[in-house]
A and B are shown apart, each in its own frame.
Chain A
């Protein structure tokens, strides 16, 4: 399966009508429409009534659309959200495989009832408890619908009673575990670096870019954006830069020459190029091409709706 390009995942409350009306204009690869924590209990029925409409609004810019549901209200939330055009649902704080299987079962039923291709709705897991982090492998393998898993640092702080601090990252092990298990299972690890992983804040685009880039070098492939201003720097951080692409092309050229001479161990400025270095170059160039393609799709969608 080709790796998905899901660099920026914009979170928008369904109850925030202004935000919903403009959520398709920010260039996000994916939009998560929230029926969960950001929607007050009393506003939930109305939000449910609006979610189908919000889904088609969110799609105008070519974004994939997920709905974050309330796990305890899964049935009602899914009844309202699972319609053609939805990419999948974001499942908050699953802890054991049964949590994932339960959600997958409801999705299967909705696909039948609402005329959605069977097996197409995806699951985006948001890990917010220690138990979920510990069980991440069984959560991923609980359903083939799982395509992305995010570390929800804010929620982890709440459930573990950790006071979020700017000078100290309490979750390097959790992030490492999530990245390794997701990569091993070939699903997408989602996250950003401390400190905004704990307390989302408005920072300059360059600051967000730096933290997202650090996240990429921890092994994350995309980040959840609590604010539209995060989208552009996240898209940028999770896309190889032109300089990198040029560097990787040079690596491939030198290595190719070496192989033609009969050596797969080629020096380049004190570094040694061998098969994994070349493979990595190839992978990064392919990723860059896929990102270009995704950006093209979004630009086309945006244009057709901005006329």
Chain B
């Protein structure tokens, strides 16, 4: 693959909400996640399915990764409706067994073949939102090569299953989150990191708190985020991107270590801090990540400009096909 996936921010919305969907590509989110599950009322599910295919390209107007969140009770019709180009990921909710994932993997494989989607292009996000899911998280995470990122064990569904309140001032989900992270790391998947920070408001649009959380997550090795409100997109993009001073520091560390290595040394001190191969590897990863973030940002900007230019020319020349 080589190229690193950059999903610092996400915006999840009910796919049947025309207003949210129409504006979604202007929000600068790294990922746009169109929901067929809990934010869509039961009576609207069929309608929601019927518009997935025409909705997916909207995400690409702003260069976002595009995903669909499906219902664990109805994977067949949901996937029939969703696996079309340019779909990049399916989120499977309330995953409780590896068989559920193997089942949707097979369905996706067939649909990719039939519909001209590059084989393996559609990633699976196996969401862990129940105690049963946590109890089987390792087998679930290992159940498909389409799973590249793995996290879970917290959130509203989890609080429902455990009967705990959401905002209690301590980390009531630490065991489940820990199990999922451990499974991800043991299998070499990208883990989700969510450092616990007390939250009493439960607001989904508090940009300052979101920024602080994103920075803390990045420092703990986190690289990804998501959200429900446009207000939290920018703070996550910013918080999960290494700031220039850290990039510069990483450059110095790497240059220092390379020189050290070339002269047969294994460990030295730079500005009073020990530099060894672990520090060097960390610096290298940070530079790689910063470069990937910059690339994603310029890609999104380019796509947005293209779209705007296109819309403008259509407006001035309404006769054009």
B205 surroundings in chain A (CB, below 8 A): 270
**Closest CB-CB distance, B204 to chain A, in whole Å?**
5
A280 in contact with B172 (CB, 8 Å): no
With A218-B172, A262-B44, A263-B17 as contacts: A184 and B159 at CB distance below 8 Å:
no
Taken together as a complex, chains A and B put the C-alpha atoms of A265 and B229 apart, in Å, by 12
Closest Cβ–Cβ distance, residue B69 to chain A (whole Å):
11
Supposing A179-B175, A217-B165, A283-B160 touch, asked if A274 and B38 sit within 8 A by C-beta, the answer is yes
B152 to chain A: closest CB distance in Å? 12
Among B37, B135, B162, find the residue whose CB has the most chain A CB atoms closer than 10 A.
B162
Q: Contacts A173-B175, A180-B175, A276-B157 known; A259 to B41 CB distance under 8 Å?
A: yes
CB-defined contacts of A175 to chain B, threshold 8 Å: 175
Q: Which residues of B contact A221 (CB under 8 A)?
A: 163
A181-B135, A221-B163 are contacts. A176–B17 as well, Cβ < 8 Å? no
B10 adjacent to chain A (CB < 8 Å): no
Contact of B204 among A173, A181, A219, A270 (CB under 8 A): A270
| Per-residue interface assignment for chain B, residues 101 to 136, with 1 indicating a CB less than 8 Å from any chain A CB and 0 otherwise | 000000000000000000000000000011110110
Smallest CB–CB gap between B23 and chain A, Å? 15
Q: 0/1 per residue, A136-161, Cβ < 8 Å to B?
A: 01000000000000000000000000
Q: Would you call B131 and A216 a contact (CB within 8 A)? A: no
Name A271's contact: one of B16, B155, B203 (CB within 8 Å): B203
CA gap between A277 and B43 in the complex, in Å: 18
* Contact yes or no, B176 A263, CB < 8 A: no
| A246–B182 alpha-carbon span in the complex (Å) | 39
A218 touches B204 (CB 8 A): no
B134 touches A265 (CB 8 A): no
Docked-complex contact A217 and B168, CB < 8 angstroms:
yes
Q: Give Cα A7–Cα B286 distance, bound, in whole angstroms.
A: 50
A183, CB-defined interface residue at 8 Å: yes
Q: Please pick, from B132, B155, B163, B170, the residue contacting A184 in the complex, using a CB distance under 8 A.
A: B132
Contacts known (A181-B135, A214-B170, A262-B44); A272 close to B204, Cβ less than 8 A: yes
Residue from the set B134, B160, B172, B228 with the largest chain A CB neighbour count within 10 Å? B160
Contact with B131, one of A181, A214, A277, A284 (Cβ below 8 angstroms): A181
> B14's contact among A263, A271, A279, A280, by CB below 8 Å, is which?
A263
- Whether the pair B176, A176 counts as a contact (CB closer than 8 A) is yes
Does B313 reach chain A (CB closer than 8 Å)?
no
Chain A residue nearest to B153 in the complex (CB): A180
A275 within 8 A of B: yes
CB pair B40 A264 closer than 8 Å: yes
Measured as residues with beta carbon below 8 angstroms from the partner, the interface class of chain A is 35 or more
Which B-chain residue is minimally distant from A174 (CB atoms)? B175
- A177 contacts the other chain (CB 8 A): yes
Cα distance A137–B155 when bound, in Å? 24
Q: A262-B16, A276-B38 are in contact. Are A180 and B176 (CB under 8 A)?
A: yes
- Answer yes or no: A97 CB below 8 A from chain B CBs: no
- Tell me the B26-48 residues at the A interface (CB within 8 Å): 35, 37-41, 43-44
Cα-based distance from A251 to B41 in the complex (angstroms): 16
- Given A177-B175, A270-B202, A272-B204, are A216 and B17 also a contact pair (CB < 8 Å)? no
With a CB–CB cut-off of 8 A, which chain A residues contact B35? Answer: 265
In the bound complex, what is the Cα–Cα distance between A280 and B156 (angstroms)?
A: 8
Residue numbers of B with Cβ under 8 A of A are 13-14, 16-17, 35, 37-41, 43-44, 129-132, 134-135, 155-157, 159-165, 168, 170, 172, 174-176, 178-179, 201-206, 228-229
List 30 A-B pairs, Cβ < 8 Å. Answer: A173-B178, A179-B175, A180-B175, A180-B176, A182-B131, A184-B132, A217-B170, A218-B164, A219-B162, A219-B172, A221-B163, A259-B43, A262-B16, A263-B39, A263-B41, A264-B39, A264-B40, A265-B13, A265-B14, A270-B201, A270-B202, A270-B203, A271-B204, A279-B160, A280-B156, A280-B159, A280-B160, A283-B160, A283-B163, A284-B163
Interface residues of A (CB under 8 A from B): 137, 172-173, 175-177, 179-184, 214, 216-219, 221, 258-259, 262-265, 270-272, 274-277, 279-280, 283-284, 287
The 9 A-B pairs at the shortest CB distance, nearest first, are namely A176-B175, A275-B38, A183-B131, A270-B203, A265-B39, A184-B131, A219-B162, A276-B156, A280-B160
